[in-house]
Chain A
Amino acid sequence: MLFKKLIRTIGRYKAQFISMIIMVGLGVGIFLGFNIEWKTLEVNVAKAFEDTGFADYRIVNERGFSEEDLKKIESIDGVDAASRFLSVNVPRKDDEDIVMLTVSENISVSGFKVLEGTPYDPDDAEGLWISERYAKQNGLSVGDTYTMVYKSLEFSGPIRGLVKSGEYMICLVEKAQLMPDHEKNGFVYVSPAYMKAKVGMTFYPQIHVRSDLPKETMIDRVEAALGKSYMIVDKELVTSYAEAHGEMTEGKTMAALLPVIFLAIAILTMITTMHRISISEKTQIGTLKSLGFKDRRILRHYAAYGLFISICGTVLGVVLGLGIGYFFINPNSVMGDYLDMEHWELHMPLWSIAVVIMINVVLVLATLYSVASMMKGTAAEALKPYAPKAMRRMWIEKKKVWKDLSFATKWNIRDILRHKSRSFMTLFGIISCMLILIASFGINDTLNSYIDDFFENSICYKTKIVLDTEQAGDADVAALIDRYEADWTSSMGVQIGENTYAMEIYGLEHEYFRFVKGHGEHIDLPDDGVLICERIAKKEGLKVGDTFTVSVYGTSEKYDLKVADIAKSISESVMMSDTYAGKLGVNYQITELFTNETEIEESPIISSTQTKQALLDTFKSFTELMNVMIVMLVFISVLLGIVVLYNLGIMSYAERYRELATLKVVGFKDRHISRILIDQNLWMTILGVLVGIPAGIGVLKILLVMLASDYELTLTIKWLTYLIATALTFGVSFIVGVMVSRKNKDIDMVEALKVAE
């Protein structure tokens, strides 16, 4: 019989029940969705690295490693496997595509997995194993012939297999590139036999190592084995590893931040709503008690309400969570564009199931807590209707201004203060809505400003020419600079203490490359000091005016450099002018040219070219990823606002039903009463917006630190963002206010004439 009561009560309070189910569903869904996101990445990325023998260390020597060097590395205690490795960017013949031509002597290290075609054969001197993603985008199949041009040599051969490689999981051919372009870029593996057959020799500037040794030990042992210090890059600095793990960290951060807001709202809404429902049910609770039902039985009955909500909410949440997980992590998603990996099956951390169970327990306990307070005392006491707290005069009522307020204002002020938990929840809902809107639009503003700083203000050239440093003599480079009226840069690896950075020397006669700081302010490259990027400044504790020492990799050269200013940079670099480099006597070789010419003739000293437009195009995909996230967050925050405010609005309406009916009976028109209700909503919204703005900025600051510490982002929020976020929040509040106040028309005035139970 009590089951029938359960069903009918749910029907009676269906708006509240539906709101709570949606809230729990949103909370659980977002919690699971973000946890599924990072866990799926973790499992599938690890599998991709494992399948293709992703190396833990890369030892770099631009002059190349001999077979003997390799043997010495292989013999180091703690090295599981090692392979000499070559990867160079080469253009496809008669095309703008750039692929990374790769040779790994021992394919079990930094190798690949064949998805289609024949397995790798180290003695195959003709075939190519090509990136499956790139092949699909370009209509290439196994058996087709593919041709690249490198150092005026044609590298051609039949495609033996379509493959994936952990090394190129994030296939970026250019350091300033943020998103891969699978149509224009890919990778091609060939065997050492192939290279020998085409070039007559093999040249390996890297040795890739699989080893569990810590970095310091590895550095010491490599130095001891080779008798010289080399630049050793651990996997955490390799784009594929770093960025994929960065995505996981972002997912973990989002999973730790966002769901907390939603779950907190779900639990608080549950407590507030169940309290309200149990107030309405108080005399029924008393009746059941007086009929002889034991407290435990009654509590069990009411626990079923909480259980019903939490189970329905959890089911909805699981569906939503899987949906969110799939939305972010599937081969056709923006993440699918970013990461080139084989497996995309969704995975969920096991402990998240325990958390969801805990959430259910908390929700049921919240229900029990609300009901238990109504059951206190004897059956006779429980039978009495709920007596709200008596009104007391507040301090503000003693002020003169109080007398001048309209009755509606006084009524609303007292109602807010009288129903503190409801008011707090309303405020919390509005603040959360505003906070998410400000933070998500703010991310967009910050990224756009970042892109503007770098690609509108910094990059002023039309084409970048990457030189083949082995072929390019000083005279050839000088001729090219003259011919294309080019600016230039030279890049080398340096160490500051234990840390590895890039040092870039610039010759900027035409200002095709400019430096920015803060909010895009232009700074000149000084002749008596260097610019360092914000990350180096932070990591090394350097400030303007400080002097620090860099040692150039592979040499005994050391330079004392003075920090002239702190600039923004995509890579972690020390930037200096050619004049300053000249003063210090730095040895360098020009590696890249910047020009306004777009027609660049083929030349043996040019390794590749890249247009600014091609670079900008990759950002479109990057901003698309952000936009997808922002649209989802905006949708969620608006939904959150509507559900919370509607639920609380309905509750407030139910609590004031009798008063509203009285107003109607004494002659207040529906729209007058609606205005009073909407007024209260608007006050709460104003307050929520005022608190939500700084809260949103605070959350955005945290997000930027946690999610994007690899980029030198400057928190930027445009006025339009404040305007849109405020308008959306007010819009939500107003729409819900109108939805609730429309119910005024249905107030049964005759009911108001009846004696209260």
Chain B
Amino acid sequence: MKIVEISHVSRVYKVGDHEQKALDDVSLELESGKTIVILGPSGAGKSTLLNLLGGLDSPTSGTIKIKGQDISTLNADQLAEYRASGVGFIFQAYNLIPTLTVLENVALVKEIAKDPLSSHDMLREVGLGDHMYKFPVELSGGEQQRVSIARAVTKNPDILLCDEPTGALDTETGIMVLKLLQRMAKEHGKTTIIVTHNQNIAKMADVVVHVKNGKIKEVINNDKPLAVEEVEW
């Protein structure tokens, strides 16, 4: 089943009098339940693509359908509802609320998501059952990213959007986080879209989308995606 249908999407930013095309007439279709990696160098437009998919930004032209719903025409409130239940974000900088405990950071999404999962269960699943009442600052980077994953999955969205999820972590911790991400996506049946410039991560993807200069250069279907531990890091 197609979960993402991007059709002739462009995103143009105005910088003073100058127009900068971050995405230029991009079209892409993605299947449900897959792990998709968007690869490309800095400034290629991969983060712009992720922002559009996550409803953080709207395209200048073209349409983006998520499960058949065109999100490019939604207003601010409708986009907020979409973000509340449709997608879960995992950021490179974790973006946890420092004044909320680990449990509260995860549980806060239950106030807005339509069909959330148990935040306690989710924290236990990511191995933080003993750290629920700690504040983010008391956790390591890897642990904070696990909280971020738990928060994203608790919303029970169809899609997990990950922006350089291991970018701020050392290799060992990064591998552990990716393992967790892969396991959670599989167990909960989520489509996972990862934006990265790390070629190795692409090896664990079902689909690899190469982006350069605001255009999709290549979409490669990977018949034999590797498990995280099989990838040479």
Contact = CB atoms under 8 A, between A and B. Distances in A.
B119 to A, nearest CB: 11
B83 A667 contact: yes
B89 A665 contact: yes
Contacts of B98: 388, 391, 659
A666 B151 contact: yes
A720 interface: no
Given A670-B80, A750-B57, A755-B167, A415 B109 contact: no
Given A411-B97, A750-B51, A667 B137 contact: no
A411 B47 contact: no
A407 B111 contact: yes
Contacts of A669: 76-77, 80-81, 112
Interface residues of A, number: 33
Contact of B93 (A393, A406, A754): A754
A753 B80 contact: no
A411 to B, nearest CB: 6
Interface in A376-411: 388, 390-393, 406-407, 410-411
A745 interface: yes
B80 A664 contact: yes
Contacts of B54: 665
Residue from A407, A415, A667, A668 with most neighbouring chain B CB atoms (10 Å): A667
Nearest to A752: B95
Interface residues of B, number: 40
Contacts, number: 100
Given A666-B83, A755-B167, A407 B91 contact: no
B112 to A, nearest CB: 5
A196 interface: no
A738 interface: no
Contacts of A392: 135
A664 B168 CA distance: 22
Given A390-B138, A664-B80, A658 B99 contact: no
Contact of B91 (A411, A672, A752): A752
A27 B136 CA distance: 42
Contacts of A745: 76
B111 A406 contact: yes
Contacts of B47: 750, 753
B231 interface: no
A752 B82 CA distance: 18
B145 to A, nearest CB: 13
B113 interface: yes
Contact of B107 (A407, A658, A662, A752): A407
A667 B109 contact: yes
A391 B137 contact: yes
Interface string A722-757: 000000000000000000000001000110111110
A418 interface: yes
B51 A753 contact: yes
A668 B137 CA distance: 23
Given A392-B135, A407-B111, 19 more contacts: A407-B104, A410-B100, A659-B98, A666-B108, A666-B112, A667-B80, A667-B83, A669-B81, A670-B77, A672-B112, A749-B51, A749-B56, A752-B95, A753-B51, A753-B89, A753-B163, A754-B93, A755-B167, A756-B93
Interface of A: 388, 390-393, 406-407, 410-411, 414-415, 418, 658-659, 661-670, 672, 745, 749-750, 752-756
Interface of B: 47, 50-51, 54, 56-57, 76-77, 80-85, 89, 91-93, 95-100, 104, 107-109, 111-113, 133, 135, 137-138, 151, 155, 163, 167-168
Which are the 8 A-B pairs with shortest beta-carbon distances?
A667-B84, A414-B99, A667-B83, A391-B135, A407-B108, A749-B56, A669-B80, A662-B95
14 contacts: A388-B98, A391-B137, A392-B135, A393-B133, A407-B107, A418-B99, A666-B108, A667-B80, A668-B84, A668-B112, A670-B76, A745-B76, A752-B91, A755-B92
